[in-house]
Amino acid sequence: MVAAKLICCLNTILLMKTIAEVKKSKGKKKIAMLSLYDAMFAAHANNVDIDLLLVGDSVSNVLLGYDSTKRIGMKEMEIFTKAVANAKPDCMIIGDMPYKSYENKKSALENAKKFLNAGANAVKVEGDKAEIVKHLVKNRIPVMGHVGLLPQSAKKIRVHGKEEKEAQKILAEAISLEKAGCFSIVLESMPTKLAKKITSALKIPTIGIGAGKYCDGQVLVAHDLLGINPHEFKPKFVKHFAKLSPAIEKAFAKFRKEVVKGKYPSAKYSYH
Ligand code: KIV
């Protein structure tokens, strides 16, 4: 019991140090965050010093094949968070709170704790959720905010904040989330100029996705940057740092051919 309390206390101290480091990097070092969902990708990301791992609810589209992030809940997010945590990465893991999991303070806290139990160190919430953020932070749960395009509530996938009124609203939301205690904020799909303005207005780091180069860091979905999507979906901001789809299909086709021809498994791949 005492040992468990000590470990918990030590984890909190280490986490506070990590959060402080993330905040301190603003203006000094750009932050690289990846959205990924399993132990293998998490291990690869850890090997190359990616700063933050987000277990994004985009897993709904990317791995589960749904047409919206609204289609998954806590059960799935806990499993994917555990998978990432099983890689034991050195960096912070952020669990993306799914649709309807933070509608009020009570459910937000209950579900955020489930993320921590699954191995996350922090959670992310979408939109103008200052009261929820304050409650989580008061309960020692670090929170990342998310403004701009909000896939859990957006009617249409589009660039947000092109018009002044909407841009002012997004800026005000970001300021309110910072005041509520967020340690960082994702800026999604907005004009570069607006992301630059928000980044200079905040003391906490901004992490952009489709928000241009002036953010304090950038996030991409790992599968997107690897060019692993067999469909043609590619938003403007996605850069394919690799193009793995053709290589994957080539390998699958070769496997099929060798199986059909009885060439695989040869003696080399058989037990004797
Ligand atoms: O779900 C996700 O992967 C995200 C990032 C794209 C920011 O929210």
Ligand 1 atom with minimal separation from the 219 CA: 7
- Residue 230's pLDDT is 80
Q: Which two tokens stand for residue 125?
A: 């919430």
Token pair in block for residue 96: 């993306």
Residues forming the active site: 188
Which residues in the chain come in under a pLDDT of 70?
1-14, 16-17
* Element spanning 122, H or E: strand 122-124
* pLDDT the model gives residue 93: 97
Q: Which of 10, 26, 90 is nearest to 52 (CA)?
A: 90
Tell how strand 217-221 and strand 52-55 pair up.
unpaired
| Residue 5: per-residue pLDDT | 66
155: exposed, middle or buried (Cβ count in 10 Å: 0-12, 13-18, 19+): exposed
CA distance 67 to 62: 9
Q: What is the DSSP letter of 149?
A: S
pLDDT tens column, 136-176? 999 999 999 999 999 999 999 999 999 999 999 999 999 99
Of all atoms in ligand 1, which is nearest to the CA of residue 188?
A: 7
- The pLDDT of residue 4 is 64
What residue type is assigned to position 271 of the chain? Y
Exposed, middle or buried, 123 (CB in 10 Å: 0-12/13-18/19+)?
A: buried
Which of 37, 50, 72, 96 to mutate for ligand 1's pocket (most ligand atoms within 8 Å of CB)? 96
User: Could you give phi then psi for residue 34, rounded to 5 degrees?
Assistant: -120, 140
Q: What residue's CA is closest to ligand 1, atom 3?
A: 56
Run of H or E including 136: helix 130-138
